[in-house]
Structure 1
Amino acid sequence: MKDKNLIIGLLGGVAVGAALGVLFAPAKGSETRKKISDKSHDLKDSLKDTACRISDKISQTVSSLKNETQDVIADAKEILQEEKSNLDNIKQINKSNIL
C-alpha cells in the first residue's frame, strides 16, 4: 500500500511540476498549449505503463497465493485422512480390548 501511495505521489508531483513549469515558461499560448498537451500524453502513457506493471504484479501475487492455498488445503486433507485412519485404528484396538 505504501508503494502505491508513493508511486501516485511521485506521478502527481511530476504532473504538477511539469504543468507549472510549462505555464510559467515564456512562450506563446499556442506553444504552451502544445507543450501541455504533449506532457499530458506522456503522463498518460506513463500512468498506463505503471498501471499495467501494478496489475501484473497483483495478478502474480494472487496466482501465487491461490497455489499456496491449494497446497495448504491438500496438506490439511492429507493430515485429516491420516488422523481419521489413526482414530479408526484406535477404535479397533479398543473394541478388541473390550471383547
Structure 2
Amino acid sequence: MDTGKVVLGALAGLATGAILGILFAPDKGTNTRKKIADKGRDASDSLVDKYNEVINSLSSKLEKAKNEGLNYFEDGEELVKNAKSNISNHLK
C-alpha cells in the first residue's frame, strides 16, 4: 500500500475521531464549533507537514539518483575513452 495513502487515512481517522469526540461531549455550541475549527486547523497543518516531508524525501531521493546516474555516465565515458586509447595504441 502507498505510504501517502496510509498517512492520509490515519490523519483522516484521527480527525474524524476527534470531531466525533467533541460533538458528543457536553459543551456550549460556540465552544464545540471552536474546538472543531481548531482540530480542523491542526489536522490540516499536520497534513501539510506530512506532505512536505514526503516531497522533501522524494526530492532527496531524486537528487541522489541523479548524482548516481551522472557518476555512472562519467565512469562510462572514462571507460570508452580508455578503450579507444588502448585500441589506438594496440593498432600502432
Which TM class, normalised by the smaller chain length? 0.7 to 0.9
Aligned pair count reads 92
Please provide the CA RMSD for this pair.
Answer: 1.7
Unaligned runs of 5+ in 1: 94-99
Give TM-score, length-normalised by structure 2.
0.85
Supply the AA of the counterpart residue of 2:7. Answer: I
Deviation of 1:3 after TM superposition, in Å, equals 2.1
CA distance in 2, matches of 1:89, 1:12: 68
Question: Structure 1 length as normaliser, TM-score?
Answer: 0.79
Structure 1 partner of 2:31:
31
- Which has the higher relative contact order, 1 or 2, with Cα contacts under 8 A spaced 6 or more apart? 2
Q: Which amino acid aligns with 1:15?
A: A
Task: Structure 2 unaligned segments of length 5 or more: list them.
Answer: none
Decide which structure has the larger Cα Rg and report it.
Answer: 1
